[in-house]
Amino acid sequence: MKIAAVSPALRVADPAYNAQKIAEIVLAQAAKGTELLVFPELSLSGYTCGDLFFQKTLLDGCLSALKTVARSTEGKKILVFVGLPLSVRGKLYNCAAAVANGEVKGFVPKTYLPNYGEFYEARYFTPAPEEEFFVEWGGDLRVVSRDFTVRERRTGAIVACEICEDLWAPVSPSARHCANGATVVVNLSASDETVGKREYRHKLLAAQSGKNVCAYVYCDAGESESTSDMVFAGNSMVYENGVCLAESEPFSGAVCETEADVGFLLAERRRMNVFVPTYGKNWSADADFCTEGDLALRAVDPLPFVPREEGARKERAARILDIQAHAFARRIAHTGAKTAVIGVSGGLDSTLALLAACRAFDLLGKPRADILALSMPGFGTTLKTKNNATALVQALGVSSRQVNISQTVLRHFKDIGHDPADADATYENAQARYRTMVLMDLANETGGLVVGTGDLSELSLGWCTYNGDHMSMYAVNCSVPKTLVKYLVLAEAERLGGRAEIVLKSVLGTEISPELLPPDAEGNIAQKTEDLVGPYELNDFYLYHTIRRGDDPAKTLYLAERAFAEKYDRATLKKWLVNFYKRFFSQQFKRNCVPDGVKVGSVSLSPRADWRMPSDASAALWLEEAEKL
């Protein structure tokens, strides 16, 4: 949903002038494709009218001005919220009017009226009553209710409204609206600018949008209000589920605009059971204001698991390594394990697992010599990865041992009658399973635990050998996606410095491969994982949008086209999207029996907690939609 919040340059107590300015903005925003447009509290009159609010001339002028705004929406796909004082049965209400398709759909009166500092609204206005009432408008009746919402006809999105102080109250009307299905809340506000207030608004809006799982559009009065006792800055903001999507700088007069992902909000709510509807209290009007326009204002992050800013990436890396280390330290302490046994290949995943194990032993005050790192070269091991593994264990001060598995696996092939010239799944998996047997037996021999190295991306694709590298005694990387692994290793490299940093950066420069097939003629890695299962940046993008955002195949591909516009064409994106769904569904049997492992982020595929799915579920619906795109 394309959203804009605008603080117009108005004249206090001049409704006709204000309506004209607002109508001009409506036409301009409608031409840009804006679907939801919000103006500040009492924007038709101005918030700072004082005792002029008692004047019938001003009140009648606001009603006439509202007609001007309504006319500006005729034939436009846009929903507009504008503020005005409304006199009904001898009482005055501070209201927001919802306007669409040339009509006033209804009014929302303010529930909580401030009476402190420079704010004396209780002098003029009456709080919203619990019961709704009606006013005549254009020959029909329009509801005036704090429970009024607008429902978009095509999408079913529900937009609710509260006014300024309502947000600051202990129990805001928006909480009730969201419980009843509203996914977008607009707030018409007039909040003066004082030192520290902007920062507090950010915290308040983050919390309100987060706990109510909604998009929250906050539109603040601008600097053209009276400055007799205070100043207004037009500091508008749009939040989505706790995240600030856009804001206008104070005193800038800028339009605050963005796009809210209502589909994500609905998907997030389906995962929760804290929303208890009170269906009988809704007053709703339908409107047609959503379009089929493309994303224009909101960038799509190609690496959703990785923070964009370097400082945030380093902070995230430090936090994740702490989580991994403390979780594994707790498991070591609980089991009384004497050692940690880990297969170190010279690749990224085993390197990260080893770094986490070192941190865990440091936390426990145990010598790193009790970490036993095994190098197990086989048919596909290259000199570079073998050297990286050797240098790494030396730099980190852990114990090491080498077990060459080639001859034992060849004997195994002879036992089962497999031709070693046939480099099929048996050829590959026999190596992975034998390595796991070595690790398990050595853990028994030394009274230790086998540390799992597999990551979240591999689990999602089933890119692991069942009962081979699929199995361990504790999986420290199981919820770390591949696109994030390298940033964790890089952060630890920079923290450690010296020889360790040099070795870790060499690991970072190595291609991703299980090294189960022989190297090429030059001794380089021949089996490249991303050639077989697709680029990990795409798989992680698809995983995030499928599991975390609840997006369907069409939306996922649409977003991928925008995120990777400069790198992949549509055919390539579709190819790997179809492959992702095929692998994700067919490989669930591996995820249904994974070892314990720590969750570090918002996506986890543990069958005991975050992702429960039958191994024989059909992928037909997803594949049918994806293949037709």
How far is Cα 507 from Cα 586, in angstroms, rounded to an integer?
31
Residue with tokens 């190297």: 519
- The string over 482-519, giving b where at least 16 C-beta atoms fall within 10 Å of a residue's C-beta and e elsewhere, is bbbbbbbbbbbbeebeeebbebbebbbebbbbbbbbbb
Task: Bin 132: left if φ > 0, else alpha if -120 < ψ < 50, else beta.
Answer: beta
Q: Is the pTM of this model over 0.75?
A: yes
pLDDT at 294: 86
Burial of 115 (0-12, 13-18, 19+ CB in 10 A): exposed
DSSP helix/strand/coil, 87: strand
CA 629 vs CA 291, 301, 569, 575, 625: distances in Å: 20, 22, 13, 11, 7
Triad 482, 485, 490: Cα angle to 5°: 145
Q: How confident is the model at residue 526 (pLDDT cuts 50, 70, 90)?
A: confident
Two structure tokens written together for 375: 């190098």
Q: How far is CA 134 from CA 33, 186, 410, 420, in A?
A: 32, 22, 86, 84
Distances in Å between the alpha carbon of 122 and those of 110, 372, 599? 11, 72, 50
pLDDT 10s digits, 34-55: 999 999 999 999 999 999 999 9
Q: What is the DSSP letter of 51?
A: G
- pLDDT bracket for residue 119 (50, 70, 90): low
Secondary structure (DSSP) of 527-538: --HHHHH--HHH
Contacts with 361 (C-beta within 8 Å, 6 or more apart), sequence order: 329, 332, 340, 367, 368, 370, 371
In the three-class reduction of DSSP (H, G, I as helix; E, B as strand; rest coil), residue 217 is classed as: strand
Conformation bin of residue 70: beta by default, left when phi > 0, alpha when psi is -120 to 50: alpha
Amino acid letter for position 298: R
Q: In sequence order, which residues have a C-beta less than 8 Å from that of residue 267 and are 6 or more positions away?
A: 549, 550, 551
Tokens of 244: 């600030």
Report which of residues 309 and 283 the model is more confident about. Answer: 309
Q: Which of 277-281, 568-572, 594-598 has the lowest mean pLDDT?
A: 277-281
Closest CA to 5 of 45, 49, 41: 41
Q: Are 505 and 486 in contact (CB under 8 A)?
A: no
Polymer length of the chain:
629
Over range 591-601, report the average pLDDT: 96
pLDDT one-digit tens code per residue, 416-466: 999 999 999 999 999 999 999 999 999 999 999 999 999 999 999 999 999
Output the six-digit token pair for 580: 């992702």
Cβ neighbour number for residue 174 with a 10 Å cutoff: 23
* Mean pLDDT over each residue of the chain, to the nearest integer: 95
What are the tens digits of pLDDT across the range 274-298? 877 776 667 889 999 998 888 888 8
Dist CA 113 CA 528 (whole Å): 65
Residue 621: its H or E element: helix 620-628
Angle between helical axes of 482-496 and 310-335 (0-180°, round to 10): 90
> Is the four-CA dihedral 298, 303, 304, 309 of positive or negative sign?
negative
Burial of 146 (0-12, 13-18, 19+ CB in 10 A): buried
Of 2, 87, 88, 16, residue with least CA distance to 46: 16
Question: How large a percentage of the chain has pLDDT more than 90?
Answer: 90
Closest CA to 210 of 187, 171, 239, 181: 239
> What mean pLDDT do residues 198-203 have?
95
Q: How many CB atoms lie within 10 A of CB 46?
A: 26
What is the set of active-site residues? 41, 110, 164
Distances in whole angstroms, Cα of residue 625 to Cα of each of 168, 339, 388, 486, 561: 45, 49, 44, 33, 16
The owner of tokens 């709704």 is: 132
Cα–Cα distance between 564 and 580 in angstroms, integer? 17
Give the pLDDT mean for 104-128. Answer: 89
Q: Which two tokens stand for residue 477?
A: 């990387």
Residue 448, SS3 per DSSP: strand
pLDDT tens, position by position, 224-277: 999 988 999 999 999 999 999 999 999 999 999 999 999 999 999 998 888 777
Evaluate whether 610 touches 604 at the Cβ level (below 8 Å).
yes
What average pLDDT does this structure show over 180-191? Answer: 96
Q: Tell me, rounded to whole angstroms, the distance of Cα 310 from its chain centroid.
A: 18
The first and second tokens of residue 228, run together, are 């007799």
Distance CA 345, CA 392 (A): 10
Q: Read out DSSP for 330-361?
A: HHHHHHT-SEEEEE--SSHHHHHHHHHHHHHH
What mean pLDDT do residues 586-612 have? 95
Domains present along the chain, CATH in parentheses: 2-287 (3.60.110.10), 310-628 (3.40.50.620)
State the pLDDT confidence band at 117, using cuts at 50, 70 and 90. low
